[in-house]
Structure 1
Amino acid sequence: MTASPAAAALTTRAQEVSPRIVDDILTLVRQETSSYDLPGLATGLDLLRELTVQRLGRPDHEHRYPGGECGDTLTLTYAGTGTGTGTGAGHVLLVGHYDTVWPTGTLAGWEQLRPSDDGRDRLSGPGIFDMKTGLAQGIWALKLARESGAPLPTVTFLFNGDEEIGSLSSRPVIEEVAQKADVTLVLEPTAHGAVKTARKGTGIFQVTATGVEAHAGLAPQDGASAITALSEFVVAAAKVAAPDRGTTINTGLFRGGSAINVVAGQATAGVDIRVSSEAEQARVDEELDAIKVSDPRVRIDIDHAWNRPPMTLNAASAPLLALAREVAREQGRDSLPDTAVGGASDANFVAALGLPVLCGMGAVGDGAHAQGEFIYPDTVPAQTALVAGVLGRLARPLRG
């Protein structure tokens, strides 16, 4: 499809500055920001703020929300130049997390430029796909939209440092700021170029088994092994999964015992649960509570911590998706697909409030949370131009 003159100028400019965008991406990647490394997170957020100010100037308003045991959350607001009225006009929230799943020290020895089977260059690094590329692209999108001369909405960036561990401190901030904005764009990576309009809800359950300690050689019969009981529970919990209904259950952490020659008196497991509906949430709760272990002396306690509600394409978001597709067509794209994915994001919180939100507006690549995650740098201009084009249309009311 042939791009319109204004859209073509925007995409051409994005191509011209693409090397600078990639440089900013790599600058962010080189500062490791593990969700559990508070000093690294603080340095990473300072770097992200500095980069934003370098590209866009000082914000009209900013606020840093202390995260306690999590990374801080920062909002930076840039006043708009448009006077749009009606639903969807005037104020856009761009959300992105700067924390990663990778422990500090992972960067050492990580191969940055990776060979590709399809002949395209790939850039790799811890957090490059999920989601430091999206952060840099979002900053540059506003810069390019400004340069285009189009009327613009007020734009608020929200950078949080605890998304990978459930947005424990940032969730109330996200919900508060989203309710003040007209639309939210989440700069998470795409699904092979598709935006994400449906995501599973997530549970982060902690299961504790409390048994009876005893000497493993002298009096094993006096003991009640918390490890054995919790192992039984984990096997039974896996059978509660129903992939055909979109429900998966994964025990990712298991700890227990005090010594090899002691019958374990304590054991804990961390269980990741993904569901596509509230009905499945209720079923999982009920069936996990009903699990019995063979030794009645062991007590099983379950912390039912549902973290993110399921996300679907709500009525408020459908016009936003239509607008993004219109912008993509104007920029010469054949299509802008949308899809449902198993992972959750901060978009789940916004969608649950009935507010318009699109997720997956960031990187094109693959390998989230896997060694060797990567982006295709040749997609950076188009993705940046897409967000810039959407911003340029949100100074006017959404149609739909």
Structure 2
Amino acid sequence: MRTGHGRQVDLDGLLDDVRTLVGCESPSHDRAAVARSAAEVARLGERHLGSEPERIVVDGRTHLRWRLGAGPTRVLLLAHHDTVWPVGSLATHPCTVEDGVLRGPGCFDMKTGLVMALHAVAALDDLDGVTLLVTGDEEIGSPSSRALIEDEARGAEAALVLEASADGGALKTERKGVSLYEVGVTGRAAHAGLEPERGVNATLELAHHALVVAGLGRPDLGTTVTPTALHSGTTTNTVPAAGSFAVDVRARTREEQTRVDRALTSLRPVLDGAAVTVTGGPNRPPLDAVSSAGLFERVTEVAARLGLPTPTSAAVGGASDGNVTAGVGTPTLDGLGAVGGGAHADHEHVLVDEVPGRTALLAGLVADLLARPLAGLDGATNHAPASGGARP
């Protein structure tokens, strides 16, 4: 498969690069492992792009940025090199390519997409205005890279996210926003056998609130509110004096995020003598269809011009850094990475035959956006201040 510039996608070389990155394990919470992975990504990027990246370390986590050309950022390519897989996973999940299927921890989410970005950008004749940002903490909510992503996106005309595709290779044109909370309660300890009536039972208090919180969901609007990990008490013969549970909220609109936030932060004690605290809040805003519409129309045109299958689209519940770029007003298209399945699971895999076409499509889309700004298609553009897009 050739890119829009007539260059052949080097599938063998691309797969070798994926094996290299998958072979360098990079769980988000292991800062040293993420640093080792960043060094491998930097080495591959320097070979393909001809320049070293900026190494940006925030809170001990390593992120990489290539600002290519002399002008400001116009097209931002966004990827991450951290995974959910702990060091040692390769012993039970080795990186293999058999019968057209690539397997290995993090191959689908999202080291193949990252390598595709390197190869696609390297195939471009004109790199001026392209920025590739590779972060190292996406899988834990981007705590140290969020400001970096927002600053870079504010100055860009478009953000292209190399997360893996949805089912069947669909591009992700909508993502739900994510809010994360912890509901904590305090009561009063007492001996469960001798004088339980003197206690204030934190477990019972939590139970009341868990039922209320679960009832905040609106399936008709796509809003899910799920109590998850719960902890309470100390010993089996003690009335629990404290406890907490986590809450995962997914919503398609900011209005729903706000509604649930107000309800959660309004929780009040049920049992006499109990106290309730709620911490957390919205983590990532929704990526809505309006944010991706112009780019999806453009990628459809590019696919037709390259003789590639017509792209399909999907709305998904999971969040990514694409939510962050859309949240600052930058047109965003997500799911441009590998086709396959099993993210975070034992059967994580990539369909090798799909890789050349997807890489060519990405290269063609970037070239098209540089030649013809998105505003030229549908009037959409990002008018936010360009606080992070200028070249050093």
TM-score, normalised to structure 1, is 0.86
Q: Determine the structure 1 residue equivalent to 2:147.
A: 172
Q: Determine the structure 1 residue equivalent to 2:118.
A: 139
Kindly provide the amino acid, as one letter, of the partner of residue 54 in structure 2: H
Which of 101-110 and 153-162 deviates more?
101-110
What aligned pairs does 1:1-400 form with structure 2 within 5 A after superposition?
7=4, 9-10=6-7, 13-14=8-9, 17-59=10-52, 62-68=53-59, 71-79=61-69, 91-110=74-93, 112-113=95-96, 121-145=100-124, 150-191=125-166, 192-289=168-265, 291=267, 294-314=270-290, 317-398=292-373, 399-400=376-377
Contact 1:92–1:153, Cα closer than 8 Å, also in 2: no
TM-score, normalised to structure 2, is 0.87
Q: CA deviation at 1:112?
A: 4.4
Which of 346-355 and 359-368 deviates more?
346-355
Kindly provide the amino acid, as one letter, of the partner of residue 217 in structure 1: G
Q: Secondary structure at the match of 2:258?
A: helix
Q: CA deviation at 1:259?
A: 3.0
Distance between the aligned counterparts of 2:16 and 2:309, measured in 1?
Answer: 29
Q: CA deviation at 1:217?
A: 3.0
Q: CA deviation at 1:392?
A: 2.1
Contact 2:67–2:73, Cα closer than 8 Å, also in 1: no
Q: CA deviation at 1:205?
A: 0.9
Distance 1:183 1:350, change over 3 A: same
Distance 1:108 1:353, change over 3 A: same
When the two structures are aligned, how many residues end up with a matched partner? 374
Kindly provide the amino acid, as one letter, of the partner of residue 262 in structure 1: T
Distance between the aligned counterparts of 2:256 and 2:294, measured in 1?
Answer: 28
Q: CA deviation at 1:338?
A: 1.9
Q: CA deviation at 1:231?
A: 3.1
Distance 1:65 1:265, change over 3 A: farther
Kindly provide the amino acid, as one letter, of the partner of residue 164 in structure 2: P
Distance between the aligned counterparts of 1:22 and 1:28, measured in 2?
Answer: 10
Gapped runs of 5+ residues in structure 1?
Answer: 84-88
Distance 1:104 1:299, change over 3 A: farther
Distance between the aligned counterparts of 2:104 and 2:352, measured in 1?
Answer: 13
Contact 1:152–1:394, Cα closer than 8 Å, also in 2: no
Q: Secondary structure at the match of 2:78?
A: strand
Distance 1:289 1:92, change over 3 A: closer
Q: CA deviation at 1:173?
A: 0.7
Q: CA deviation at 1:319?
A: 3.2
Distance 1:6 1:201, change over 3 A: closer
Contact 2:3–2:359, Cα closer than 8 Å, also in 1: no
Which of 98-107 and 286-295 deviates more?
286-295
Distance between the aligned counterparts of 1:97 and 1:318, measured in 2?
Answer: 24
Contact 1:314–1:354, Cα closer than 8 Å, also in 2: no
Kindly provide the amino acid, as one letter, of the partner of residue 380 in structure 1: V
Kindly provide the amino acid, as one letter, of the partner of residue 48 in structure 1: V
Distance between the aligned counterparts of 1:331 and 1:342, measured in 2?
Answer: 31
Distance between the aligned counterparts of 1:300 and 1:210, measured in 2?
Answer: 7
Contact 2:14–2:119, Cα closer than 8 Å, also in 1: yes
Gapped runs of 5+ residues in structure 2?
Answer: 378-392
